[in-house]
Amino acid sequence: MSSISSKEIQIERAKTTKIDQVDFNNIDFGRIFTDHMFVCDFKDGKWQTPKIMPYQPMTIDPSARVFHYGQAVFEGMKAYKDEAGKVWLFRPEENHARINKSAARLAIPEFPKDYFFNGLHTLLNLDKDWVKPGMGNSLYIRPFVIATEPAISASPASEYRFMIICSPAKAYYSGKVRVLFAEKFSRSADGGVGFAKAAGNYAAQFHPTNLAKEQGYQQVVWTDANTHEYLEEAGTMNVFFRVNDTLITAPTNDRILDGITRKSIIQLAKDNHIDVEVRRVSVKEIKDAARNGSLKEIFGAGTAAVISPISAFEHAEEVFELPNIEDSFASIFKEKLLNIQHNLSEDLHNWRQEVK
């Protein structure tokens, strides 16, 4: 792979900053973007010189393949500011590895590691005032790649654009999340692209999720497409079940995203001597556990929401309300994760990376 140092990134600074117009206490997720963006085009068989420029709309042909064939992958990560004003990333190597895994499945060229990290650090340095200190505040970072080649034959593009855009995210308490276990719709197939952060996986969930919302549920927990008997993951979160004092989560496979929050929780559980089982979880056992009182918690885990406790689920027209628990695993893991992310606790596994 080609190599590039931060110096070789072409930088055009924004003439003014938009930061003063932002009310950081009232932020709607994903609608406000920082002053700069990172852009790198692929053409003639290679990634061209990367650029950082003022955040702005771009010009693209209506025939660009991304519009027609969904050839696009993305990542989601966060930067955190500690009390001393240092900016930290959480396991960013994982995001780089994953975007390339996603890219390979969608026949998109991989993005070189040095381009990724030099771009990311240079961009975050320019926009570091946008990372607000304080527990739960963060800057959400969205690297993505789209097929830009102007041609509508159904085949992989020869031109792509890799970008990083950033959006400030507020510490939020999203309230009680009620979920529906999927019985008819499904998110992904064996041998499909469910394990990838492929753009098309998300739009496919919007309609079933809208139907769930009409019934009073915020999210769908997807089940396997073949039998709908096994629980897989939610729209943008992996899912954990606590039965008595054991934590259970589905194994990853080609239908399920290998979440970084998920694998961090599994590690933290081990570190803290909490029993954790990575195995198939059936709808039936979770319903039985809910009935006999051994189901203590369900929570979702993902970068955007960190940990999202689930208060109720419905399956086959039966509603199960979960108990309100003190010292829940959800709150324990959330605190542990946030403390590591915000440089407030020891980082046993070298998960933090300082932005320099």
Ligand X SMILES: Cc1ncc(COP(=O)(O)O)c(C=O)c1O
Where does this chain bind ligand X (CB under 6 A)?
76, 197, 233, 236-238, 257, 259-262, 302-303
For the bound state, the minimum distance from the C-beta of residue 78 to ligand X, rounded and expressed in Å, comes to: 9
* Binding partner selected for residue 353 from ligand X, a copy of itself, none, CB under the kind-specific 5 to 8 Å limit: none
Q: How many CB atoms lie within 10 A of CB 248?
A: 21
Segment contacting a copy of itself by CB under 8 A, of 31-39, 256-264, 284-292, 339-347: 31-39
Name which of 55 and 117 has its Cβ closer to a copy of itself.
55
> For residue 177, what are the β-bridge partners?
310
**Which positions from 71 through 110 interact with a copy of itself, judged by CB under 8 A?**
71-72, 74, 104-107
**Binding of residue 30 to a copy of itself (CB under 8 A):** yes
SS3 for 215-254 is CCCCEEEEECCCCCCEEEEECCCEEEEEECCEEEECCCCC
Largest Cα–Cα separation, the chain: 63
Question: Distance from first CA to last CA of the chain, Å, rounded?
Answer: 23
Name which of 149 and 233 has its Cβ closer to ligand X.
233
For the bound state, the minimum distance from the C-beta of residue 1 to ligand X, rounded and expressed in Å, comes to: 23
Q: How many CA atoms lie within 13 A of 66 on its CB side?
A: 18
Distances (CA, A) of 269 to 242, 258, 275, 310: 12, 17, 7, 19
**Binding of residue 151 to a copy of itself (CB under 8 A):** yes
User: Pairing relation of β-strands 318-321 and 306-315?
Assistant: antiparallel
Name which of 9 and 177 has its Cβ closer to ligand X.
177
Query: Token pair for residue 202?
Result: 């998300």
CB 294 within 8 A of CB 325: no
Query: Token pair for residue 129?
Result: 């005032």
Complete DSSP assignment for 262-281: HHHHHHHHHHTT--EEES--
Q: Out of 57, 84, 85, 293, which residue is the one contacting a copy of itself (CB under 8 A)?
A: 57
* Binding partner selected for residue 320 from a copy of itself, ligand X, none, CB under the kind-specific 5 to 8 Å limit: none
Three-class SS of residue 341? helix
Query: Token pair for residue 96?
Result: 């780089």
For the bound state, the minimum distance from the C-beta of residue 247 to a copy of itself, rounded and expressed in Å, comes to: 25
For the bound state, the minimum distance from the C-beta of residue 237 to a copy of itself, rounded and expressed in Å, comes to: 10
* Phi and psi angles of residue 183, each rounded to the nearest 5 degrees, phi first: -115, -20
* Phi and psi angles of residue 297, each rounded to the nearest 5 degrees, phi first: -150, 155
Name which of 71 and 261 has its Cβ closer to ligand X.
261
**Which positions from 181 through 240 interact with a copy of itself, judged by CB under 8 A?**
182, 184-193, 198-207, 209-210, 225-226, 228, 235-236
Segment contacting a copy of itself by CB under 8 A, of 41-49, 148-156, 239-247, 261-269: 148-156
Q: Out of 14, 19, 22, 152, which residue is the one contacting a copy of itself (CB under 8 A)?
A: 152
Q: Which residues contact 101 (CB under 8 A, 6 or more apart)?
A: 195, 196
Binding mask 234-273 for a copy of itself (x = CB under 8 A): -xx-------------------------------------
Reading phi first (left if > 0) and then psi (alpha if -120 to 50, else beta), residue 64 is in beta
Name which of 117 and 202 has its Cβ closer to a copy of itself.
202
**Binding of residue 163 to a copy of itself (CB under 8 A):** yes
Name which of 93 and 254 has its Cβ closer to a copy of itself.
254
Q: Which residues bind a copy of itself (CB under 8 A)?
A: 29-31, 33, 37, 55, 57-63, 66-72, 74, 104-107, 142, 144, 146-147, 150-156, 163, 165, 167, 182, 184-193, 198-207, 209-210, 225-226, 228, 235-236
